[in-house]
Each structure stands twice: as C-alpha cells, then as structure tokens.
C-alpha cells in the first residue's frame, strides 16, 4: 500500500498552473473597493427625495408606500386578502384546466416553481505537468 507520498498528483500544482498562464500586459492593479462612506452617501441621497439634507418619515417610507399602492388594486388604502393574493389566485386559475375549482395532481404539477439554472464557472484550462 502506498502512502500519500507515493501518489502522483492528478492536477497540476498552483505554481505550475500559474506559470502556464500567459503573462498579463502591464502592472497588475488592485480591484477597486467601494468606500463605505461613499456608499452610505449614495444611499442617503436616494432616500432624501427633496434634497434638504434631512430624511422625513414620508421620504423614509416612500418605497414601502409604492409597493403597497401596487398591491392596493381598488385604491381604498386597505389591503384585503384578494388584493394580497392576486398572483396566487391567478396561478391557481391558470392551472385549473377543467375549471372545477380543484386541482388534480397533474394540474398541481404545473404550479411547481421552475428550477434555477446555475451559471457555469468560467475557469481557464489547467495545463498538465510534462514528465
């Protein structure tokens, strides 16, 4: 039985893989890092709708109100269950092929969420060591 030292590596070592890559032209620059303060300034500027340097409650809640108004179909300022569940009700109606108000197993299967497709990782090929 061979120990770990007796096993040949099946993948090139990082040093060999790095040496096999073409050299980059010019100096290698570090990636830019977003300054935390500048990100916070941008966030504040988005929330400060009237540019007075202060965020009032109405400005702070503006995005929530926009989302609520989108759901409030009849515009009465109240959100009832039918307005809240409109997408689910439409999904059920679309799946109910025979329009009897009940879903069979086959009809229910059409409501399953679609699987997310993972993006492939773009890795450079690894060059094998020459013996």
Residue 27 is assigned to a structural domain of this protein: no
Q: Is residue 45 part of a domain?
A: yes
Specify if 94 maps to a domain.
yes
Instruction: Give the total number of structural domains in the chain.
Output: 2
Residue 51 burial by CB count (10 A; 0-12/13-18/19+): exposed, middle or buried? Answer: exposed
Among 23, 47, 71, which residue terminates a domain?
A: 71
In this prediction, residues 57-65 reach a mean pLDDT of: 89
Distance CA 103, CA 97 (A): 8
Q: Is residue 127 situated within a structural domain?
A: no
pLDDT band, very low/low/confident/very high, at 18 (cuts 50, 70, 90): low
- Measure Cα distances from 24 to 9, 12, 28 in Å: 28, 21, 8
Q: Residue 17: what pLDDT?
A: 54
Q: Which of 124, 128, 131 is nearest to 24 (CA)?
A: 124
| pLDDT tens-place string over residues 72-123 | 888 898 988 888 888 898 999 999 999 999 999 999 999 988 888 888 888 7
Q: Is residue 118 a part of any domain in this protein? A: no
Q: Are residues 41 and 52 in the same domain?
A: yes
Indicate whether 61 and 79 sit together in one domain: no
DSSP code for 66:
H
Pair 41, 55 in one domain: yes
Query: Which residue range forms the structural domain that includes residue 66?
Result: 35-71
Tell me what pLDDT residue 12 has: 54
Alpha-helical regions (H) of 11-113: 14-20, 36-47, 57-60, 62-71, 81-84, 86-95, 105-109
> Is 9 within the bounds of a domain?
no
Q: Is residue 81 part of a domain?
A: yes
On whether both 80 and 66 belong to a single domain, the answer is: no
- Mean pLDDT along residues 20-34: 67
Instruction: Supply the pTM of this predicted model.
Output: 0.42
- Which of 8-22, 49-63, 105-119 is the least confident region? 8-22
């Amino acid at each position: 039985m061979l120990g770990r030292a007796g096993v040949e590596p099946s993948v090139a070592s990082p040093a060999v893989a790095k040496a096999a890559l073409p050299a980059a032209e010019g100096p290698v620059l570090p990636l830019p890092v977003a300054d935390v303060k500048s990100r916070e300034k941008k966030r504040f500027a988005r929330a400060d709708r009237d540019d007075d340097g202060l965020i009032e409650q109405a400005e702070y809640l503006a995005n929530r109100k926009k989302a609520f108004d989108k759901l409030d179909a009849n515009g009465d300022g109240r959100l009832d269950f039918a307005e809240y569940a409109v997408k689910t009700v439409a999904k059920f109606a679309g799946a109910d092929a025979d329009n009897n108000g009940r879903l069979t197993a086959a009809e229910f299967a059409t409501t399953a969420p679609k699987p997310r497709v993972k993006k492939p990782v773009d890795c450079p090929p690894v060059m094998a060591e020459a013996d």
